[in-house]
């Protein structure tokens, strides 16, 4: 447990999801799948799809605007912007710099961090540490994804799982010790990088006519392996952070897991022996939105009153890399 007097707390959250809904039945009209197959294997019913012109930075800026309003802060109060995304508007400049300009934030350090679906938990720890150092006051952290732009819409094993959206939080200091973002545990295992990746578009396979023909610019996944690894590392991260803080799973009022697959979350629930009712779930509506998944769920959980004063909340994620992480929160 971090015992420095300067707590770092969530000052406000916001989220944004595109209006366009793609249902399982819509997908069944383009690939060989069915609502029944998708729902029973994943718990997903529908997902949001951004318009052609809408970018990760547009969605991130919309979520961030709502977070600023909730925090009752102005763009001029923000001195740090960190974005987690695997679908940046472009390789550079960073999506954080693009969001900065869209929101009129003039005096901030801006950067992107890439840890796939674990990205939001990663940037939360980075931002919290920078605020705790005393050098930064208010961080805007954003998970935003336009996964529809890297999905192979002819591959039924992947295109049914993902969706678009963004979530944001403003973090800031509080001189009351022992509340807010209490602790983190993060992990990575690059040896598992080939279970989930996108081969094209970087320096290994720059865009060429061949790379397009070979469909290298789409997400590739070995679903069964990802499933097993996900259950293992999410349980490990959750147990580790609880142990580090002398807490039992039963003391958690709310768990916000990465919203990838209901069956993964059900296994986590039984392994931790925490009932499913304590888990905040929205994957039925949005599918897996990668780095946006946890902050969208966090925003909905806070706005629906799921995190009362004194409650312990656990955020727990896994993603490509392989990466994983957990954050322990105590509502002030």
Q: Which parts of this chain interact with ligand ACO (CB under 6 A)? A: 33, 37-38, 41-42, 116-117, 156-157, 160-161, 196, 221, 223-224, 226-227, 230, 260-261, 288, 290, 319-320
Shortest approach of ligand ACO to residue 265 CB, angstroms? 10
Least gap, CB of 288 to ligand ACO (angstroms): 5
Nearest CB to ligand ACO, comparing residues 235 and 311? 235
Catalytic member of 97, 110, 117, 159 = 117
Q: Is 217 a catalytic residue?
A: no
Burial of 140 (0-12, 13-18, 19+ CB in 10 A): buried
Is the distance from CB of 196 to CB of 189 less than 8 angstroms? no
Q: From the candidates 97, 258, 261, 282, give the one annotated as an active-site residue.
A: 258
Please, what is the Cα angle at 321 between 286 and 21, to 5 degrees? 15
Beta strand segments in the chain, E: 7-16, 21-23, 46-48, 80-84, 109-113, 139-146, 164-174, 180-188, 196-197, 220-221, 252-257, 312-319, 323-330
In the complex with ligand ACO, the residue whose CB is nearer, 14 or 43, is 43
> Is 261 designated active site?
no
Rounded to 10 degrees, the C-alpha dihedral 157/277/228/221 comes to: 30
Q: Which is nearer to ligand ACO, 102 or 220 (CB)?
A: 220
Q: How far is the CB of 303 from ligand ACO (least distance, A)?
A: 25
Nearer to ligand ACO (CB atom), residue 113 or residue 226: 226
Shortest Å, Cβ 168 to ligand ACO:
19
Q: Measure the CA–CA gap between 147 and 56, rounded to whole angstroms.
A: 9
- Answer yes or no: 110 catalytic: no
Residues with catalytic function: 117, 258, 288
């Amino acid at each position: 447990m971090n015992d420095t007097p300067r707590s770092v707390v969530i000052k406000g959250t916001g989220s944004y999801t595109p209006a366009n809904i793609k249902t399982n039945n819509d997908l069944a009209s383009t690939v060989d799948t069915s609502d029944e197959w998708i729902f029973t294997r994943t718990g997903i019913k529908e997902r949001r799809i951004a318009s052609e012109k809408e970018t990760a930075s547009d969605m991130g800026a919309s979520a961030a605007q709502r977070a600023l309003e909730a925090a009752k802060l102005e763009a001029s109060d923000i001195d740090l912007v960190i974005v987690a995304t695997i679908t940046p508007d472009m390789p550079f400049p960073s999506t954080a710099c693009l969001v900065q300009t869209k929101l009129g934030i003039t005096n901030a350090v801006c950067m992107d961090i890439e840890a796939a679906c674990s990205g939001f938990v990663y940037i939360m720890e980075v931002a919290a540490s920078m605020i705790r150092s005393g050098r930064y006051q208010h961080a805007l952290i954003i998970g935003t994804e336009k996964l529809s732009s890297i999905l192979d819409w002819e591959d039924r094993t992947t295109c049914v799982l993902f969706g678009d959206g963004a979530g944001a939080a403003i973090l800031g200091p509080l001189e009351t010790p022992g509340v807010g973002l209490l602790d983190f545990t993060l992990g990575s295992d690059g040896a598992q990088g080939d279970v989930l990746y996108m081969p094209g578009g970087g320096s290994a396979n720059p865009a060429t006519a061949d790379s397009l023909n070979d469909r290298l610019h789409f997400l590739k996944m070995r679903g069964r392996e990802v499933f097993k690894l996900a259950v293992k590392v999410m349980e490990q991260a959750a147990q580790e952070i609880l142990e580090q803080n002398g807490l039992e799973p039963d003391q958690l009022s709310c768990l916000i897991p990465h919203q990838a697959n209901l069956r993964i979350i059900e296994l986590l629930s039984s392994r931790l022996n925490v009932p499913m009712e304590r888990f905040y779930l929205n994957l039925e509506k949005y599918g897996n939105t990668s780095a946006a998944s946890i902050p969208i769920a966090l925003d909905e959980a806070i706005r629906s009153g799921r995190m009362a004063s004194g409650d312990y909340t656990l955020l727990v994620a896994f993603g490509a890399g392989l990466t994983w992480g957990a954050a322990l929160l105590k509502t002030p």
